[in-house]
A and B are shown apart, each in its own frame.
Chain A
Amino acid sequence: MDLTTSYLNLTLRNPLVASAGPIAGTVAGVRRLADSGVAAVVLPSLFEEQIAAEEERDVRLGEAGSDSFAEALSYLPALDDHAGLRQYLSLVERAAAAVDVPVIASLNGASPGGWTTHAAALASAGAAAIELNIYYLPGDALASGREVEQRHLDILAAVRSAVTIPVAAKLGPYFSSAGEIAVRLDQAGADGLVLFNRFMQAGIDPEALTVSSRIQLSSPFEAGLPRSWIARLRGQVRASLAASTGVEDAADVAAYLLAGADVVMTTSSLLRHGPGHAEVLLDGLTGWLQRKGFTAVSQARGLLAASAAGSAPGYGRAGYLQAIQDATSAYGP
């Protein structure tokens, strides 16, 4: 079975990619992922402000109690400068050297200059591509939709001009017209679009009376939204399309591919079942392709995209009406 896939102009051995997550936080984790068969690994995001905050905290801790007591003018060895960034770059460098699949760095900048300087550093550390994690927290009630969009475009343009390696944009679904921003990012030079980022939405513990910031692992019912947009965008954009969210088994992978995804990304299922689950997904995908009589994954890709013959009604008003009818007959009186 030919699973060969092209993503961000990179040739991948199959369409399964490990999205940014904690497993890839160590070289050993990256190696386990690659050994399990994934075709590329996205490293956990480099958060610029987090690195700055950690730097500030560690400097503060390193100085705690210093120059106060004659026997102990400090309590820890002196810290090096810029160690936080170097630590991430080291992960990129070592991960890229440790595995023979592409290692994609994920970047979340905070300052105007932060996106470009960090992107350049990631590229020189050996990242095969950069995924821009344009994580935009809901909360600023006064930011206009256009401002939010422009911010995405500005960041992409800045990074695009700073590096020569492929650049993908990972975005959230909450735009008035998610399709339009995807197209505009494509026109602005994105080599790939990753759909979608899942926003951390604060939880509330009524017993402890606390706000929790836990990220829930995604589940398959959440896959509908990105899948629909991928189906819509297939053929409309030059950029590669990556599906992210809600992959649990091979059927979910197949559905994304049929909708038109170039690659399918997962972290949640790998966290739930361990990195070895990639092998289960790939075996399942191969089995499904065989059952359906395909000899290459490319034959299935986009088969049920909106642009494909006969599929469009399912994604449009007709599909909506059909869904309401089905629901009425299932749940109605």
Chain B
Amino acid sequence: MTRVTVDGNEAAVSAAYRLNEACCIYPITPSSPMAELADSWSAQGRPNVWGSVPAVIEMQSEGGAAGALHGALQGGALATTFTASQGLLLMIPNMYKIAGELTPAVFHVASRSLATQGLSIFGDHSDVMATRPAGFALLASATVQEAHDLAAVAQAATLTSRVPFVHFFDGFRTSHELNTIELLSDDDLRALVPEDLIRAHRARALSPEHPFIRGTAQNPDTYFQARETVNSFYSAVPAAVAAAMDMLAGRTGRPYGLVSYAGHPEADRVIVAMGSGSQTAAQTARFLAGHGDRVGVLRVRLYRPFPAGQFLAALPPTAARIAVLDRTKEPGSLGEPLFMDVLAVLAEAHAAGSLTAMPLVTGGRYGLSSKEFTPGMAAGVFAELARDKPRPRFTVGITDDITGTSLPYDSLLDIEPASTVRAVFFGLGSDGTVGANKNTIKILGADAGRHAQGYFVYDSRKSGSQTVSHLRFGPDPIEAPYLVAQASFVGVHQERLIERTEVLGRAAPGATVLLNTARPAEHVWDWLPREAQEQILHKQLVLFAVDATAVARDAGLGGRINTVLQTCFFAIAGVLPQDEAIAAIKDSIARTYARRGADVVARNHAAVDAALAGLHRVEVPGRVTATRGVPAAVPDSAPDFVRTVTAAMLAGHGDDLPVSALPADGTYPSGTTRYEKRNISDEVASWDPDLCIQCGNCSFVCPHSVIRSKFYDAAALAGAPDGFASAPLTARGLPESKYTLQVYVEDCTGCGLCVEACPVSAPGDPRRHAINLTAREPLLAVQRDSIAFFEALAVNDRPRVDFGTVRGAQFLQPLFEFSGACAGCGETPYLKLLSQLFGDRLMVANATGCSSIYGGNLPTTPWTTDAAGRGPAWSNSLFEDNAEFGLGFRITADLHLRLARGRLAELADRVGPDLVAEILSAPQRTESEFAAQRGRVATLMGRLDQLDAADPVVADLRSVLDHLVRRSVWLVGGDGWAYDIGAGGLDHVLASGRDVNVLVLDTEVYSNTGGQASKATPLGAVAKFAAAGKKVPKKDLALQAIAYGNVYVARVAMGADPQQTLRAMREAEAYDGPSLVIAYSHCIAHGIEKDGVTLRNGMDQQYRAVASGYWPLMRYDPVLRAAGENPFLLDSPRPRIPLAAYTGQELRYRILARTDPAEAERLAGLAQHEVRQRWATYEEMAARGPERFPAGAGGSS
């Protein structure tokens, strides 16, 4: 018996991997870790329980994975997949086939919300419920242990019954919860899944040695009857599952049951639920029953085929009122699916006479998108059932102030045993808090007498993100799948986080609080905000302080404070006696850091000792002494929605927002990141006006739009605040003009890309540039005033700005700002440029991925507006459909333009034929032309105002008038979209000839889900799902598109040639046909750093990629072909550094050299050859005559 502490994903895949021969995978949150583990185990050659190493293949989409899976099954393999949410939806067509052919297989699903009014990565059963009609058995696991055990049960039952299974567990709540479990041995698994069943499956496979046809097309005469042939197989499923569960129980002592009951044996009120929520409900029922309440919970594990008999048998005959909880929503239905099933079972039994009294049955929704489901909420449901007239339909966990569905509940109900130690930790993603807590769980969970649980909550930013760790330890298994609300220990690993009310809100009375602060212990109390002092006094909290940053620095650990804080936790939390705890942590350090050398171990051990010496208790006076309160999340000047709704989300009170506060259709205001001053970097950019040559490079590369430039008349400086920096404008012909480069210091992430991009250095100090990183704190006061003054200066007139140069582009206002992307992101500079160039007439269709998350994840959005209120109109549909979605924008724009032109022509006599003629014939390529057209449209609007508004022609024209200014439609996404899941759609859209522009932010991996390989991943690089190194070269998407002849194509890399990037973007937009711009985007998944700062050398790596010939800069311009010239322009010089001088800088390439040096050498040789060969092809193309390229260029829109 092996005891381990793992999360639900690992628990499930541990069984699934060992019981299969093939895994067809595709990344999707929160199931990706299952696929990643399977891939890495396969790469390591780890066998299944029958001795063969499972084949793991990544496909281009979940649809592809399901197709490959279907084929593998038809070939006789044991095959599985891991997915969630939209991924499961893409598999549905194949699920019908697999089930229809009675093919044994198990899909392991970390169940997740579906994208509706908004996308959510979090957990509920919407995805699984959408597969109900497909014919799969649906088996629900409620805990990490169950996710392991039932993965095996599902495999056994599918082979016995031939009905395929979806085995699911709650995304994040179970998939990402660490818990102590007992692993099934290989012998257990072999016993559960006898080999004769596998052989029977193989015997049914396709073989030319005994051929048959499967997958016929059928006619009205037989399809129906054939569809009914499977009924008996479904009837046999419950028994098959029960048999497997019984065998498992016999070997492990862990009994399950298709359904199981917990609570009072003569309960009159019963909750029916499935998944992790059923465990919370069951624990609550036991607690309440212990206090004399006649309540119980019926937990459903096998949901399809619904085990009606077992359900009725398990239900106490005394149950008079039943609430069925569904973790999904079916708008417009009579009720959610589990409710409807239960109702049908009971009604049928009652009608048949086997159930004497028909209970009252209500149906409620809970826990959508990982909304907490707590014992208090379960108790609230029982309380509702006790009312005279319980709500027939309800919700629990939210405040529905519109349709009144929500139940009241006691948020403080605490049912946990006193023996459970509960702790919460608040930290930043970058400070190692989560890693240290995972380590703590492993240390404490390793003891035979102790169980451990960990659950981690992250915010949705990729930089400066906050983390909350919820840990429990106790002598009994931890069965509490909800957040810690009453912690006996609260660790605050970043001083400013104590200003969040949630932090001390999670402290139980008398709890110990540890604050990491640079302040001496005697100064801590007075510094605390009023709200914190009140909570400390009210709950009689015991406060400790440590300067972990100083202790870590003095011990030589740099900014790694986790060892120090972990030590303090062990010292004062009381989970273990202090001596024992310190010995355990030192032992863990020795093991964790052994590979980094004795010196690193010694430094960490020294930090442990110093931590104890630096830990001080803070004296708490008997009264509040604070002179300040918690600052508001957003300024008072923010719009109403931002102050009420956005601010609540920012402050961590989003759960408290009622239904009425939220838009009904997913429409949110643009430009809200500007209200959130995150101050995430202690070091920020600072401008030196004397050194600056005003080239605009820093502003161009800034991923966060925090470097802005304006030029203005010197007179405008009147009233400038002290410290407002300016310099004479260096442009010719404007002697009286001044120039200011303003850094938005509170939004700067300190990534350093600007410093690296600066071409000048100070005389006598080569390390000092015209822009440098300096401490933020001393700058704040002056810079806040400077920013306010800078914002009041007029934005430079677009027609007066030279769009053609990097220097000119700095004066264009970014309409994409302060996103939560990684500090130093390689994608966002391109989006910022897009917004600068075309923002006021831009429509963006954004594929799901990093850019849709930092671009559209609540609470705040970076796409914003200009002074006239215009700006990018942005939307995200799905991952796979983005090209088609964006084409739809174009279709509509063209239709409505045509309509507008038609109506305008009809009204020509009434609004003025000259004006109409001008509008209809106006060129719209340059900014001055756009400005002129906007002026004409405004005039037209004025004249329309004079006409009868009720005239249908006038009204019609008004509704589409905007389209008379040409819209710029951009389809934006990453390589996972463009090269893989959306490749078919992208290809079709490019072939359509319509005037759309595609921007591929090519990071060469699926960045958002953690760096899985795509077809853009280069040869020789390691990525998740390519743990053994990518064996084939990156797809040349540019050449594919060029093959059409009428597609404008460019490959750009801003860090290598910003001017070429700018030119390509403008040419792409101006081209009246489809355009494709493939942009090299350095990424955190590449593993690059300079001076210890991740991504700081991102632009330099772009330069190296181009200099080595790996990323040749090129443009293919059909306009040139039409003019009789060679349309293929090679914009970068011949390779002048070896490929290794580029790849050697990146961990993604070095990993293979570490794990498999021989293969790394082989692939590096092939990659260098591929670069040379491709360069030769490009050079040859650049030298061809135009006649050798397809003619007939030009768009067809």
Given contacts A52-B597, A65-B822, contact A76 B1154 (CB under 8 A): no
Do the beta carbons of A28 and B1165 come within 8 Å of each other? yes
Which residues of A lie under 8 Å from residue B1011 when comparing CB positions? 72, 74-76
Which residues of B lie under 8 Å from residue A87 when comparing CB positions? 1153-1154, 1157
Task: Kindly state whether residue A208 has any CB partner on chain B within 8 Å.
Answer: yes
A49-76 vs B, Cβ < 8 Å mask (1 yes, 0 no): 0001001111111111111111111111
Task: Kindly state whether residue B1039 has any CB partner on chain A within 8 Å.
Answer: no
Given contacts A72-B1008, A76-B1022, A210-B766, contact A62 B1147 (CB under 8 A): yes
Task: Kindly state whether residue B1084 has any CB partner on chain A within 8 Å.
Answer: yes
Segment at the interface with A among B58-66, B160-168, B180-188, B461-469:
B461-469
Which residues of B lie under 8 Å from residue A65 when comparing CB positions? 429, 462, 822, 1084, 1094
Task: Kindly state whether residue A217 has any CB partner on chain B within 8 Å.
Answer: no
Given contacts A52-B596, A76-B1148, A84-B1154, contact A69 B465 (CB under 8 A): yes
Q: How far is the CA of A57 from the CA of B465 in the complex (A)?
A: 23
Task: Kindly state whether residue A209 has any CB partner on chain B within 8 Å.
Answer: yes
Within the complex, the shortest CB–CB distance from B1023 to chain A, in Å, comes to: 7
Q: How far is the CA of A57 from the CA of B599 in the complex (A)?
A: 15
Task: Kindly state whether residue A81 has any CB partner on chain B within 8 Å.
Answer: yes
Do the beta carbons of B1024 and A77 come within 8 Å of each other? yes
Do the beta carbons of A61 and B456 come within 8 Å of each other? no
Within the complex, the shortest CB–CB distance from A90 to chain B, in Å, comes to: 4
Task: Kindly state whether residue A198 has any CB partner on chain B within 8 Å.
Answer: no
Do the beta carbons of A76 and B1165 come within 8 Å of each other? no
Q: How far is the CA of A64 from the CA of B596 in the complex (A)?
A: 17
Task: Kindly state whether residue B1151 has any CB partner on chain A within 8 Å.
Answer: yes
Given contacts A82-B595, A84-B1154, contact A76 B1161 (CB under 8 A): no
Count of residues in A whose CB is under 8 Å from the partner chain:
43
Which residues of A lie under 8 Å from residue B1023 when comparing CB positions? 76-77
Which residues of A lie under 8 Å from residue B764 when comparing CB positions? 209
Task: Kindly state whether residue B669 has any CB partner on chain A within 8 Å.
Answer: no
Task: Kindly state whether residue B1007 has any CB partner on chain A within 8 Å.
Answer: yes
Q: How far is the CA of A249 from the CA of B608 in the complex (A)?
A: 60
Residue of B nearest to A113 (CB): B598
Do the beta carbons of A64 and B1155 come within 8 Å of each other? no
Task: Kindly state whether residue B121 has any CB partner on chain A within 8 Å.
Answer: yes
Which residues of A lie under 8 Å from residue B597 when comparing CB positions? 52, 55-56, 111
Do the beta carbons of B761 and A79 come within 8 Å of each other? no
Q: How far is the CA of A26 from the CA of B1164 in the complex (A)?
A: 10
**Which listed residue, A67, A77, A209, touches B434 by the CB 8 Å rule?**
A67
Which residues of B lie under 8 Å from residue A64 when comparing CB positions? 1084, 1087, 1089, 1094
Residue of A nearest to B429 (CB): A68
Task: Kindly state whether residue B1158 has any CB partner on chain A within 8 Å.
Answer: yes
Which residues of B lie under 8 Å from residue A79 when comparing CB positions? 1151, 1154
Residue of B nearest to A65 (CB): B1084
Q: How far is the CA of A61 from the CA of B433 in the complex (A)?
A: 17
Q: How far is the CA of A73 from the CA of B1084 in the complex (A)?
A: 12
Residue of B nearest to A86 (CB): B1154
Do the beta carbons of B595 and A55 come within 8 Å of each other? yes
Task: Kindly state whether residue A27 has any CB partner on chain B within 8 Å.
Answer: yes
Do the beta carbons of A83 and B1155 come within 8 Å of each other? yes
Do the beta carbons of B766 and A57 come within 8 Å of each other? no
Do the beta carbons of B1084 and A75 come within 8 Å of each other? yes
Considering only residues 74-109 of chain A, those with a C-beta below 8 Å from chain B are: 74-84, 86-87, 90-91, 94
Do the beta carbons of B121 and A71 come within 8 Å of each other? yes
A27-54 vs B, Cβ < 8 Å mask (1 yes, 0 no): 1100000000000000000000000100
Do the beta carbons of A74 and B596 come within 8 Å of each other? no
Q: How far is the CA of A26 from the CA of B1157 in the complex (A)?
A: 9
Do the beta carbons of B1151 and A76 come within 8 Å of each other? yes
Do the beta carbons of B1154 and A61 come within 8 Å of each other? no
Q: How far is the CA of A87 from the CA of B1150 in the complex (A)?
A: 10
**Which listed residue, B32, B429, B1027, touches A77 by the CB 8 Å rule?**
B1027
Which residues of A lie under 8 Å from residue B434 when comparing CB positions? 67-68
Residue of A nearest to B1026 (CB): A77
Task: Kindly state whether residue B250 has any CB partner on chain A within 8 Å.
Answer: no
Q: How far is the CA of A67 from the CA of B429 in the complex (A)?
A: 6
Within the complex, the shortest CB–CB distance from B550 to chain A, in Å, comes to: 21
Do the beta carbons of B435 and A26 come within 8 Å of each other? no
Do the beta carbons of B766 and A74 come within 8 Å of each other? no
Do the beta carbons of A56 and B596 come within 8 Å of each other? yes
Do the beta carbons of A72 and B1009 come within 8 Å of each other? yes
Within the complex, the shortest CB–CB distance from A202 to chain B, in Å, comes to: 15
Task: Kindly state whether residue B1194 has any CB partner on chain A within 8 Å.
Answer: no
Which residues of A lie under 8 Å from residue B430 when comparing CB positions? 68
Which residues of A lie under 8 Å from residue B1094 when comparing CB positions? 61, 64-65
Which residues of B lie under 8 Å from residue A73 when comparing CB positions? 33, 1010
Task: Kindly state whether residue B789 has any CB partner on chain A within 8 Å.
Answer: no
Do the beta carbons of A208 and B1155 come within 8 Å of each other? no
Q: Which of A27, A60, A65, A72 has the most CB of B within 10 A?
A: A72
Do the beta carbons of A26 and B1161 come within 8 Å of each other? yes
Considering only residues 1104-1158 of chain B, those with a C-beta below 8 Å from chain A are: 1147-1148, 1150-1151, 1153-1155, 1157-1158
Do the beta carbons of B462 and A68 come within 8 Å of each other? yes
Which residues of A lie under 8 Å from residue B1087 when comparing CB positions? 58, 61-62, 64, 75-76
Given contacts A27-B1161, A77-B40, contact A66 B596 (CB under 8 A): no
Do the beta carbons of A58 and B1008 come within 8 Å of each other? no
Within the complex, the shortest CB–CB distance from B138 to chain A, in Å, comes to: 25
Residue of B nearest to A211 (CB): B766
Considering only residues 27-44 of chain B, those with a C-beta below 8 Å from chain A are: 29-30, 32-33, 36, 40
A111-138 vs B, Cβ < 8 Å mask (1 yes, 0 no): 1000000000000000000000000000
Do the beta carbons of B1085 and A75 come within 8 Å of each other? yes
Within the complex, the shortest CB–CB distance from A116 to chain B, in Å, comes to: 14
Which residues of A lie under 8 Å from residue B460 when comparing CB positions? 69-70
**Which listed residue, B36, B172, B429, B1027, touches A69 by the CB 8 Å rule?**
B429
Q: How far is the CA of A86 from the CA of B1027 in the complex (A)?
A: 18
Q: How far is the CA of A331 from the CA of B1184 in the complex (A)?
A: 61
Within the complex, the shortest CB–CB distance from A73 to chain B, in Å, comes to: 7
Do the beta carbons of B1155 and A80 come within 8 Å of each other? yes
Do the beta carbons of B1088 and A83 come within 8 Å of each other? no
Which residues of A lie under 8 Å from residue B435 when comparing CB positions? 63, 66-67
Do the beta carbons of A70 and B1010 come within 8 Å of each other? no
B438-468 vs A, Cβ < 8 Å mask (1 yes, 0 no): 1000000000000000001010111001010
Which residues of B lie under 8 Å from residue A67 when comparing CB positions? 429, 432-435, 438, 456, 458, 467
Task: Kindly state whether residue B215 has any CB partner on chain A within 8 Å.
Answer: no
Residue of A nearest to B438 (CB): A67
Which residues of A lie under 8 Å from residue B1027 when comparing CB positions? 77
Q: How far is the CA of A82 from the CA of B681 in the complex (A)?
A: 33
Do the beta carbons of B40 and A94 come within 8 Å of each other? no
Task: Kindly state whether residue B590 has any CB partner on chain A within 8 Å.
Answer: no
Do the beta carbons of A61 and B766 come within 8 Å of each other? no
Q: How far is the CA of A26 from the CA of B458 in the complex (A)?
A: 43
Q: List 21 contacting pairs A-B, 8 Å CB cutoff, sorted by A.
A: A27-B1158, A52-B596, A52-B599, A56-B596, A65-B1084, A65-B1094, A67-B429, A67-B433, A67-B434, A67-B458, A68-B462, A69-B429, A69-B462, A70-B121, A75-B1084, A76-B1087, A77-B1023, A77-B1027, A79-B1151, A86-B1154, A94-B1158
Q: Which residues of A contact B (CB under 8 A)?
A: 26-28, 52, 55-84, 86-87, 90-91, 94, 111, 208-210
Q: Which residues of B contact A (CB under 8 A)?
A: 29-30, 32-33, 36, 40, 121, 172, 176, 428-430, 432-435, 438, 456, 458, 460-462, 465, 467, 594-600, 761, 764, 766, 822, 853, 1007-1011, 1022-1024, 1027, 1083-1085, 1087-1089, 1092, 1094, 1147-1148, 1150-1151, 1153-1155, 1157-1158, 1161, 1164-1165
Question: Which 7 A-B residue pairings sit nearest by Cβ, starting from the closest?
Answer: A68-B429, A83-B1154, A72-B1010, A67-B434, A209-B766, A81-B595, A75-B1085
Task: List 17 additional A-B contacts (Cβ < 8 Å) besides A68-B458, A76-B1147.
Answer: A26-B1164, A58-B1150, A60-B1092, A61-B1147, A65-B462, A66-B435, A67-B433, A67-B467, A68-B430, A68-B465, A69-B460, A69-B462, A71-B121, A71-B1010, A77-B1022, A77-B1151, A81-B595
